Amino acid sequence: MKKIIALILVAVMLTLTFTSCGVKGKTLAEVKEAGKLVVATSPDFPPFEEMEGDEVVGIEVEILKLICKELGVELVIETMDFDSVLSGVQSAKYDCGMSGITVTPDRQKNMLFTDAYYVAAQVIVVKEDSTIAGKADLKGKKVSVQTGTTADEGCTDAGLDVQAFAANADAKAALTTGKVDAWVVDNLTALQMVEEGDGLKILDEYMTEEPYGFAFAFGSEDLVEEINKILNKLIEDGTVQKIFDDFGEVYVKPE
């Protein structure tokens, strides 16, 4: 009996060791050895990442292309819903998360982030004829968000009546079709998607301001350190500013 218990214990310990090894993010040497950086993204977030035919394009794609060039590896992009980006990076299924990801203290408990490269804001989008004029008017109103985003967390924490959608376009459609009274989303994405012209407007009052970074699994500390060096150089020498200019966007540099 004792032997069996001992065997079971050994088996459990071995499984734990192997699974915890399995969820470690790649080191710099491992990425270089693989010759590629596998990046997870939810390409429904213009101007940061969106589909153009079957290609993912956007500001973050341009930044990561330059980072991969410096690292001497190929940039390989995998597309999925936003919440799968976060869970996939955390479990080291992918090397990196690129999705206009806000760096938050809660997320930092579960994964690594590069330094921030941009400061975004969460905005409230409503129909042009809406009487909602700011945050305070959202009480008791139905609000759409993308699942797992900071908009989802923030609006849920504020006790709002939240409807979450896996795809950003569906969160917007919920507003245009009148299923909800407001849509909370990041500012530059809101600007682009409102320009598509569906009788929507963006309110002046921000919900929050938040920094964007790229996400990695624990274990990738030296990789993140190397990427930070490259990223900060691209920020300091004006390359990131130039990329925003090329996309016709205003660049807000982190302090």
In the complex, the residues that contact ligand ARG under the rule CB under 6 A are: 42, 44-45, 49, 82, 99-102, 146, 149-150, 168, 186
Give CA–CA dist 51/57, Å, rounded: 6
Give CA–CA dist 78/87, Å, rounded: 14
CB of 45 within 8 A of CB of 98? no
Q: CB of residue 135 vs ligand ARG: minimum separation in angstroms? A: 17
Tokens of 46: 């213009």
Q: CB of residue 205 vs ligand ARG: minimum separation in angstroms? A: 18
Q: CB of residue 81 vs ligand ARG: minimum separation in angstroms? A: 8
Nearer to ligand ARG, 32 or 135 (CB): 135
Nearer to ligand ARG, 68 or 151 (CB): 151
SS3 content of the chain, % helix, strand, coil (to 5): 40, 25, 30
Instruction: Name every residue whose Cβ is closer than 8 Å to that of residue 183 and which is 6 or more positions away in sequence.
Output: 124, 125, 126, 143, 144, 145, 171, 172, 174, 175, 190, 200
Q: CB of residue 77 vs ligand ARG: minimum separation in angstroms? A: 12
Nearer to ligand ARG, 48 or 226 (CB): 48
Tokens of 159: 């006790």
Nearer to ligand ARG, 23 or 80 (CB): 80
Nearer to ligand ARG, 68 or 164 (CB): 164
Q: CB of residue 45 vs ligand ARG: minimum separation in angstroms? A: 3
Half-sphere exposure at residue 91, Cβ-oriented, CA atoms within 13 angstroms: 8
